[in-house]
A and B are shown apart, each in its own frame.
Chain A
Amino acid sequence: MAKILIVDDEPHIRLLLEEILEDFEEKGVEVHTAKNGKEAVEKILELKPDLVYLDIMMPEINGYDVCKIIKIDHKMNDVKIVMLTAKGQAVDKQKGVNSGVDMYITKPFDPDFIIKNTENLLGISLE
């Protein structure tokens, strides 16, 4: 049973991504959300999702920290982590590499791209 976790401190982004990924639920994928870094870490450890859409800018624990904790401290390499960055924000590639980030997507994202990307990463087609 594939699982996706959406992490963003902004509720409308969570709702948006949930809505975009809605069709995957019919294919048996579970979509969960977390509203900050701390909750993200807890849910990742508990649910062991296959794919995480992770916002970078969050208070207290930011996206990079979450990534580091999951990929480096807990060595959960099977979790694919896709970072959501704001357009125009310089992506700290080195930091990304050090934290174990798998991919970057800029906001505002192309909803069709999110769907295609999710299909690829989960190996599930929506056809």
Chain B
Amino acid sequence: MKKIQLSRIIRKDENLAMINEMCNSLGCQIFITEDNEEIFKYNCMDNTNLQKLEVENCLPNVQIWGDGKSTTVVRLLDFLIGNAKDIKSILTDVINKYKELSIFYTLGEKIAACSDVRHIARITYDEVLKFIDATDMMLILKGENSDKVDTVINLPCEKNKPIIDPNSKLLNEVMAGMEAQIFNGLEQSNKLEEYKIKSKCLMCVPIVIKNVAEGIAIIGHREKNMYTSEDLKIFNAAIFQLILGVENAKLYNILEDTFLQTVSALSETIEKRDPYTGGHTHRVMNYALAIGIEMELSRTELVSLRLAALMHDIGKIGIEDKILRKEGALTEEEYELMKVHPKLGADILNNMKYLSTIVKGVISHHEKYDGTGYPNKLKGEEIHSIGRILAVADSFDAMISDRPYRKGLKVEKALAELNKHSGTQFDPKVIDAFNRAYQKGYIQV
């Protein structure tokens, strides 16, 4: 806390007016110096013929001289100094609280945007450093349902020697106690050798989720040797935010994984009914992705494309065996019945909110660029881009695959066929991309 300056107190308009008024009505003489410089005088030139006066709330560099009538003024100054001290200590506390608050606002926002534990740990460390002195931070997490250390994150740099052995007994004790602890003056203690500690002080906060200690967060300083309870409070609260972020990230990843696994499982159902379709689906997916990358689609678009490719023939699950697994070519009637599968696929997918975005791609994978396709006779750009890409990938695979009733075309012939129908059946831009992808060797047959 910076020292109080009487000159500043006196300089304030309201205070100066009050002091002058009082001096005036008392008719006194008073002379004040601070750091040996004159800061106020009334009715005199200097301190000659004046007594040195003592102030209760004395400030070390202040000297006051006055006559007999000036004692009341001294009492006023005393009061003002006392006030200033109180206000200053309140303000110091408020400023600290503001700093803490702003750390947590920022921390909360930054962590919320993150789904990677290492990244969250780094963000937390950076923010905490604004308020706490530290040279290292570690985040140690135990594995799911196990007591063994699973993850160790070492900040600021993974390559640095950790300030404490992740498996040390000290940490296990803190985790068992489930309470945050400070360890100060470690230089003097024998713990340094025992636990391979490299810092002079440490703060440890166990990571407790649903009453189970799942890990521990540690922060330390290799030179400084003391942390205060204020420091611990901040670190504790920052780790709380970190835990929320990590839990969130974990749940999000589980959700994403489950979603993708569900989609995979769904696409396997059609494979069980019709093995030809199964292999076909995966090949179409690879061709479609090669095209998509060539067309420079964004990551999100590529993810949708991949899902659409995996799902594009799911509708075939609603086609009877005698048509779906017929050995020969389909009759006109049978073909008409088969043509329903894009719509069936869309119906199935519409059940899942998160797949409804790819419905348009799936339902239109048999549309033709010139409007002569099915089910809706969409034309050109009316067909969703995913549908236009799938059309090419799908047809290509159909052409090169062997059927019971005919052999597959050679790749070059299939390519020629695709090019022949560019602009009519297929979107020329997609055909171009396919050609380029093939030339670059990305079309693995």
Residue positions of A touching B, CB distance < 8 A: 12, 15-16, 19-20, 22-23, 25, 87, 108-113
CA distance A15 to B95 in the complex (A): 11
Residues of B within 8 A of A22 (CB): 2
**A16 pairs with B102, CB closer than 8 A:** no
Residues of B within 8 A of A87 (CB): 105
**A19 pairs with B98, CB closer than 8 A:** no
**A16 pairs with B95, CB closer than 8 A:** yes
Residues of A within 8 A of B105 (CB): 87
**A19 pairs with B102, CB closer than 8 A:** no
**A15 pairs with B102, CB closer than 8 A:** no
Query: Which of B86-94, B361-369, B404-412 touches A?
Result: B86-94
Residues of A within 8 A of B101 (CB): 108
Residues of A within 8 A of B98 (CB): 16, 108-111
Q: What are 21 of the A-B contact pairs (CB < 8 Å)?
A: A12-B94, A15-B87, A15-B91, A16-B91, A16-B94, A16-B95, A19-B88, A19-B91, A19-B92, A19-B95, A22-B2, A25-B8, A87-B105, A108-B98, A109-B102, A110-B98, A110-B102, A110-B103, A111-B95, A111-B99, A113-B102
Q: Mark B272-301, 1 if CB is under 8 A from A, else 0.
A: 000000000000000000000000000000
The 9 closest A-B pairs by CB, nearest first: A110-B102, A19-B91, A108-B98, A111-B95, A108-B101, A111-B98, A111-B99, A15-B91, A16-B94
Chain B interface extent, by class: 10 to 19
Residue positions of B touching A, CB distance < 8 A: 2, 8, 87-88, 91-92, 94-95, 98-99, 101-103, 105-106, 130
Q: How far is the CB of A45 from chain B (nearest CB, A)?
A: 18
**A20 pairs with B95, CB closer than 8 A:** yes
Residues of A within 8 A of B99 (CB): 110-112
Interface centre among A12, A15, A19, A23 (most CB of B within 10 A): A19
Residues of A within 8 A of B91 (CB): 15-16, 19
Chain B residue with minimal CB distance to A106? B105
Chain B residue with minimal CB distance to A87? B105
CA distance A41 to B69 in the complex (A): 42
Residues of B within 8 A of A108 (CB): 98, 101-102
CA distance A20 to B105 in the complex (A): 20
CA distance A36 to B105 in the complex (A): 29
Residues of A within 8 A of B8 (CB): 25
CA distance A23 to B95 in the complex (A): 14
Chain A residue with minimal CB distance to B96? A111
Residues of A within 8 A of B102 (CB): 108-111, 113
Residues of A within 8 A of B95 (CB): 16, 19-20, 111
CA distance A74 to B91 in the complex (A): 35
Residues of B within 8 A of A16 (CB): 91, 94-95, 98
Chain B residue with minimal CB distance to A23? B2
Residues of B within 8 A of A15 (CB): 87, 91
CA distance A15 to B84 in the complex (A): 11
Chain B residue with minimal CB distance to A20? B95
Q: How far is the CB of B14 from chain A (nearest CB, A)?
A: 11
CA distance A109 to B99 in the complex (A): 8
Instruction: A16-B98, A111-B99 are known; give 12 further A-B pairs, CB within 8 A.
Output: A16-B94, A16-B95, A19-B91, A19-B95, A20-B95, A23-B2, A87-B105, A108-B98, A108-B101, A108-B102, A109-B98, A110-B98
Residues of B within 8 A of A110 (CB): 98-99, 102-103, 106
Q: How far is the CB of B252 from chain A (nearest CB, A)?
A: 26
CA distance A110 to B95 in the complex (A): 8
Residues of B within 8 A of A109 (CB): 98, 102
Q: How far is the CB of B35 from chain A (nearest CB, A)?
A: 13
Chain B residue with minimal CB distance to A12? B94
Residues of B within 8 A of A12 (CB): 94
CA distance A16 to B87 in the complex (A): 10
CA distance A109 to B98 in the complex (A): 7
Q: How far is the CB of B81 from chain A (nearest CB, A)?
A: 16
Q: How far is the CB of A115 from chain B (nearest CB, A)?
A: 11
Residues of B within 8 A of A111 (CB): 95, 98-99, 102
CA distance A49 to B407 in the complex (A): 87
Residues of B within 8 A of A113 (CB): 102
CA distance A80 to B248 in the complex (A): 42
Q: How far is the CB of B404 from chain A (nearest CB, A)?
A: 67
CA distance A19 to B95 in the complex (A): 9
Q: How far is the CB of B234 from chain A (nearest CB, A)?
A: 14
CA distance A92 to B386 in the complex (A): 40
Residues of A within 8 A of B94 (CB): 12, 16
Chain A residue with minimal CB distance to B102? A110
Q: How far is the CB of B75 from chain A (nearest CB, A)?
A: 24
Q: How far is the CB of A111 from chain B (nearest CB, A)?
A: 5
**A112 pairs with B2, CB closer than 8 A:** no
CA distance A87 to B130 in the complex (A): 21
CA distance A26 to B2 in the complex (A): 12
CA distance A55 to B87 in the complex (A): 22
